[in-house]
Structure 1
Amino acid sequence: MASDDCSKDALLEDGRADSGIDSYRSLLKSDEPREPREPSSDPREKASAADERLDSAYGSSSITELVEGCTISGSLEKPAKACEQSEREEEDVLTSITEEGDTILHLAIIHEEDVITQHLIQLFPKEVLNIQNNLYQSPLHLATYLNLPSVVKSLVEKGASLELQDQHGNTALHVACQQGQTECATEMTRYASSDELALVLKIQNWRGLTCVHVAALNRQHQILRFLIKTGANLNIQEGTSGKTALHLAVELHDVASVKLLLGNGANVDAAMFNGCTPLHLAVGRQDASIANLLCQSGADTMLRNMEDETAQDLAEGNDDILALFPFDDIQISGRSVVCKFLAES
């Protein structure tokens, strides 16, 4: 999925939700629309993105100071000075956006102020729940980064989108798969329709990876099992070289993932764009153990890649792997007979 900077920027702009703050301001009858903010061009790693904003433009003070005096569903206790604040001041707090593009809901989640977060979710319309900050993170992204399943549940129940992508092209479900947050992933998908879930599971980030690829790359076996139960396509190819999750597991020498994928219907002979099968990769990495697993699952040793090489060709000089392969002249129903020498020895 390699693309030039211009097309990537276009994708980012298309993927970002329309600013719901202006919509919410109109609901509050405010006459001062906010100018849209330009996304940050400074690349930052997602693992530290949430932490970078813990000391945001509002400083390190508690987020509760920002909502003192604001009317939130009428159920938060208000200090005495709240009575003196004007309705307009309350609106300004609720509809303000920081220099980093964070709404008060983003900040409440970052500070893990659960009571305030839950009230804001109920107060705001769906459009505000889907506002993305300068890193293109929605409140759902942040709740997932911080592993807050109760917040994820409330956001999804209220209609927060599962399809929004951050600056790396990751949906919130990508984040859950990367970090192994099964509870958050469960809450995200609990209320999704089968069509919506199928669409989200097909979304590729800017590296061309779907959720199942991300889970495999990060050795997240529990999440991988979860994705299998949700009906994820184990044979879907990532967008840069056509690898399936099985190819990635083989490259990582991850025996557990290889067994899990093969046991749940992954195509043992899936070919990359260059024609390499998982067996080509296992042999090329001289991994006799995984090559043996693939052979036992019926891998075709005679399939050729674009270099016109079979897995047997790549195994020359490696007696352990060659011992797995059949004699060329012994075939049954057109397929080579797999020798299970290592399995029986």
Structure 2
Amino acid sequence: MTTSYTDYSRNMMMDGDIRMPGKDKLLQATEDRTDSGLDSLREEDYNNMLKDMQNLSIPMEQNIQDYEPEAWKMQANEDGDTLLHLAIIHEDKELAVEVIKRSYRDAFYLNRQNNLHQTPLHLAIITDQPEIAATLFEAGCDPEVRDYRGNTALHIACEKGSLHGVGVVVQNCKTRLSPLLQYTNYNGHTCLHLASSNGFLAIVEDLIRLGADINAQEPCNGRTALHMAVDKQNEALMFLLLKYGADVNRVTYQGYSACQLTWGRSNLQIQQHLLALTETSLQYLPESEDEDSSESESEADDEYMYDDVCISLCPRMV
């Protein structure tokens, strides 16, 4: 059986269609994955997994040394999705809650990752089910686990612009929030970078108030959120960042301030505002040595050309 699968980063797979979890309609291919292999588990296998759960008792305590997962917890489809992954993807809230209840404090199962390194918490945020995410937190899931792009659940919520997703993570991770705000994904982006790049101002403000480093720089090129505001020509984001003390004189690894990046862009209000706040030496683009060199070479070529013409016209000058 040939089936179209997509990942939640909306990368198009096989036939280019994306199937939304729990839905029967196909959407045009976009950027983020919302499906982790919905059709790869046969209905018969799915029903068998449900039967295995029946009449099971919920252990009050688990001794890690003696722990042996129940048979149904070891089952997964070809995409690595367990029964809990699938229940969340299919938005079967009743089943998801029951599975979580039967996995209370079972870190192995609650944090189990599929082939894309997605945990049930990742999928709960992706599918906008904050109540399932809250239940996972109550059962003891780990919010610091990363998916194949290096994203925690909080990264995903910020990238999606999910206020509910951000809220449920923040409320349940108060003692672990500081490292979550500092973590970068495999592209070097913090949660603040993702929210800023996508223009989610309410989330940007919340993250800053919670302690996110407003001047954090991408490891690849050294851009801050303020540089991103200029790149995106997002005037409202610029004013918000400046309100909370963004450093206008912070430069990228190539040595460019946010103000210098405004040259050649259309929004003059952004440029004029940053010009008034930025140090003089960082207001204008530096003269390019390459341009000076090319101009000198051009002038030299002109001189050689002039000499050649003169020689051809006046051989006696040689």
- TM-score, normalising length: structure 1: 0.66
Q: Which has the higher contact order (CA 8 A, sep 6+)?
A: 1
Q: Which amino acid aligns with 1:219?
A: G
User: Match for residue 59 of structure 1?
Assistant: 42
| CA positional deviation for 1:156 | 1.8
| CA positional deviation for 1:313 | 5.0
Task: Give the one of 9, 12, 15 matched to 1:46.
Answer: 9
Distance 2:197 2:89 in 1: 27
Task: Give the one of 268, 271, 284 matched to 1:311.
Answer: 284
User: Match for residue 70 of structure 1?
Assistant: 53
Where structure 2 has 5 or more consecutive residues not aligned to the other structure, the ranges are: 11-31, 59-68, 288-318
Distance 1:71 1:115 in 2: 14
Distance 2:161 2:246 in 1: 21
User: Match for residue 291 of structure 1?
Assistant: 271
* Structure 1 residue runs of 4 or more that deviate by more than 4 Å after TM superposition: 42-45, 60-65, 72-75
- TM-score, normalising length: structure 2: 0.72
Q: Which amino acid aligns with 2:74?
A: T
Structure with higher Rg: it is 2
Q: Does 1:157 align with 2:138?
A: yes
Q: Which amino acid aligns with 1:128?
A: Y
Distance 1:252 1:176 in 2: 20
Residues 242-261 of structure 1: CA deviation (Å, up to 9, x unaligned): 11111011101011111111
Q: Which amino acid aligns with 1:245?
A: A
Distance 1:43 1:112, change over 3 A: closer
User: Match for residue 134 of structure 1?
Assistant: 115
Aligned residues of 2:6 and 2:36 also touching (Cα < 8 A): no
Aligned residues of 1:177 and 1:223 also touching (Cα < 8 A): yes
Residues 306-344 of structure 1: CA deviation (Å, up to 9, x unaligned): xxxx51657xxxxxxxxxxxxxxxxxxxxxxxxxxxxxx
Percent of residue pairs identical: 34
Distance 2:44 2:228 in 1: 44
Distance 1:72 1:144 in 2: 30
Task: Give the one of 53, 57, 80 matched to 1:101.
Answer: 80
Q: Does 1:208 align with 2:188?
A: yes
- Structure 2 counterpart SS, 1:226: helix
- Structure 1 counterpart SS, 2:87: helix
Aligned residues of 2:259 and 2:278 also touching (Cα < 8 A): yes
Cα RMSD after superposing both structures = 2.6
User: Match for residue 165 of structure 2?
Assistant: 184
Distance 1:65 1:293, change over 3 A: farther
Task: Give the one of 203, 226, 234 matched to 1:223.
Answer: 203
Distance 2:286 2:185 in 1: 35
Residues 50-97 of structure 1: CA deviation (Å, up to 9, x unaligned): 3251212x136796664146237769xxxxxxxxxxxxxx94333311
Distance 1:223 1:63 in 2: 38
Distance 1:228 1:238, change over 3 A: same
Aligned residues of 1:279 and 1:301 also touching (Cα < 8 A): no
Aligned residues of 1:63 and 1:107 also touching (Cα < 8 A): no
Where structure 1 has 5 or more consecutive residues not aligned to the other structure, the ranges are: 1-41, 76-89, 304-309, 315-345
Distance 1:256 1:65, change over 3 A: farther
